């Protein structure tokens, strides 16, 4: 969002911006300087090893920066290249002086007090994290960056697009079980930015649709290695462009929607649904073809009624926070019970690979 960038540049006094990254090129810096404007200069430093974190020229650049921005990429490189080096100290000193810092994707992932480091070389998905929140793929890193108002915050990115609510809950569960009973999560959707001022009040900017998600599990879970997560109560609140979040109290004014979810045996349930989100449900009836001209009005009405009932069944699942897989299953169950559509039985597989229906082929005749 260009509006978010303009906000960031204004917080930096429209001065000198330093972008840090461990992959890619300086193109983003050029875009900020030439297309957005409002910065005296934009410099990009690309790290490819730990040695550069002791370079006095880079340290001087960071010392004189009015704003620092951490680019996307692989956050494990930031941890390996910066942690325990003068660059880590320079970034924390910059923030301690009241100067702004920002990050996107991997850069945002490490801004919390404890961050997901992706230290195993991959990017853990929600299913894996919920099945074993202390497993080797859930690599949390602390004692790295010190951000005001983020003392107990775990951040996550690409939130809705990559279905990361479940994994953020798993991250917070590990941090809480590790001793921080106040830990909460904040997820940010793609094309969006949560901008927090010096008083800890944040607003959300977006170039599309999306929100910032406040994820607040209640209580401290008991975690056992290799065991799926159970978390009975997880409060979820979303921030849009009209509301504000106070990071001192962790409260959102004018939330877009909110509710309570739960995790049962590693399965996320009851997620509140965005009432404004567009969705559609496609129904494929198989290879059978019936020409409309061959239908009597009564037969056509019967087909329409059956299709509408199937659509309503799937829509009800989605509206109540169910998954797309559950919606398809509900839809197909309606059709398989209707002789107009099904001479045999259908097959629907759940996330565990279990066939919930009776055969492998839906006839479609």
Q: Cβ distance 16 to 40 under 8 Å?
A: yes
Domain ranges within the chain, ordered by starting residue? 2-269, 279-365
* pLDDT score recorded for residue 343: 45
In angstroms, what CA-CA distances link 152 with 182, 183, 211, 230? 6, 5, 20, 21
* pLDDT score recorded for residue 288: 57
- Which tokens hold the place of 154? 């775990």
Q: Residue 146: is its pLDDT beyond 60?
A: yes
* pLDDT score recorded for residue 361: 39
d(CA 124, CA 116): 9
Q: How confident is the model at residue 72 (pLDDT cuts 50, 70, 90)?
A: very high
Q: Residue 137: is its pLDDT beyond 70?
A: yes
Q: What is the separation, in whole angstroms, between the first and last Cα of the chain?
A: 50
Q: Cβ distance 212 to 187 under 8 Å?
A: yes
* pLDDT score recorded for residue 275: 82
Mean confidence (pLDDT) of the chain: 89
* pLDDT score recorded for residue 345: 47
Which of 70, 61, 1 lies closest to 35 in space, CA to CA?
A: 1
pLDDT tens, position by position, 302-328:
888 888 888 888 888 877 667 777 888
* pLDDT score recorded for residue 25: 85
Q: Residue 2: is its pLDDT beyond 70?
A: yes
pTM: 0.79
* pLDDT score recorded for residue 330: 84
The more confidently predicted of residues 300 and 93 is 93
pLDDT tens, position by position, 329-356:
888 888 878 877 754 444 555 555 554 5
d(CA 69, CA 61): 13
The CATH code of domain 2-269 reads 3.40.50.880
- The dihedral region occupied by 151, where left means phi > 0, alpha psi between -120 and 50, and beta the remainder, is alpha
Strand partners, 201: 246
Q: Is 125 exposed, middle or buried (0-12, 13-18, 19+ CB in 10 A)?
A: middle
């Amino acid at each position: 969002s260009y509006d978010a960038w303009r906000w960031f540049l204004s917080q930096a006094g429209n001065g000198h911006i330093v972008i840090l990254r461990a992959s890619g090129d300086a193109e983003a810096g050029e875009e900020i300087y030439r297309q957005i404007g409002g910065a005296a200069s934009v410099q990009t430093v690309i790290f490819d090893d730990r040695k550069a974190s002791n370079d006095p020229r880079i340290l001087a650049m960071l010392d004189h920066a009015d704003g620092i921005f951490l680019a996307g990429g692989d956050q494990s490189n930031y941890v390996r290249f910066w942690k325990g080096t003068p660059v880590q100290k320079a970034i924390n000193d910059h923030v301690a002086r009241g100067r702004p810092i920002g990050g996107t994707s991997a850069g945002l992932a490490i801004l919390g007090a404890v961050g997901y480091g992706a230290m195993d070389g991959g990017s853990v998905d929600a299913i894996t994290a919920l099945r074993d929140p202390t497993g080797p793929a859930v690599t949390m890193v602390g004692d790295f960056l010190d951000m005001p108002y983020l003392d107990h915050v775990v951040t996550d990115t690409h939130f809705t697009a990559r279905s990361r609510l479940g994994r953020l809950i798993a991250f917070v569960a590990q941090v809480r079980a590790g001793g921080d009973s106040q830990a909460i999560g904040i997820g940010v959707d793609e094309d969006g930015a949560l901008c927090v001022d010096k008083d800890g009040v944040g607003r959300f900017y977006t170039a599309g649709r999306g929100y910032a998600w406040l994820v607040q599990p209640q209580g401290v879970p008991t975690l056992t290695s290799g065991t799926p997560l159970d978390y009975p109560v997880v409060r979820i609140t979303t921030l849009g462009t009209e509301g504000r979040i106070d990071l001192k109290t962790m409260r959102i004014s004018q939330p877009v929607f909110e509710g309570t979810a739960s995790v049962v045996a590693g399965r996320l349930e009851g997620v509140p649904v965005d009432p404004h989100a567009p969705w559609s449900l496609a129904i494929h009836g198989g290879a059978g073809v019936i020409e409309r001209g061959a239908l009597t009005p009564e037969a056509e009405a019967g087909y329409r009624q059956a299709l509408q009932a199937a659509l309503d069944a799937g829509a009800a699942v989605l509206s109540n926070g169910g998954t797309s897989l559950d919606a398809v299953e509900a839809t197909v169950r309606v059709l398989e019970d209707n002789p107009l559509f099904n001479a045999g039985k259908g097959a629907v597989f759940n996330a565990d690979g279990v066939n919930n229906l009776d055969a492998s082929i839906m006839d479609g005749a």
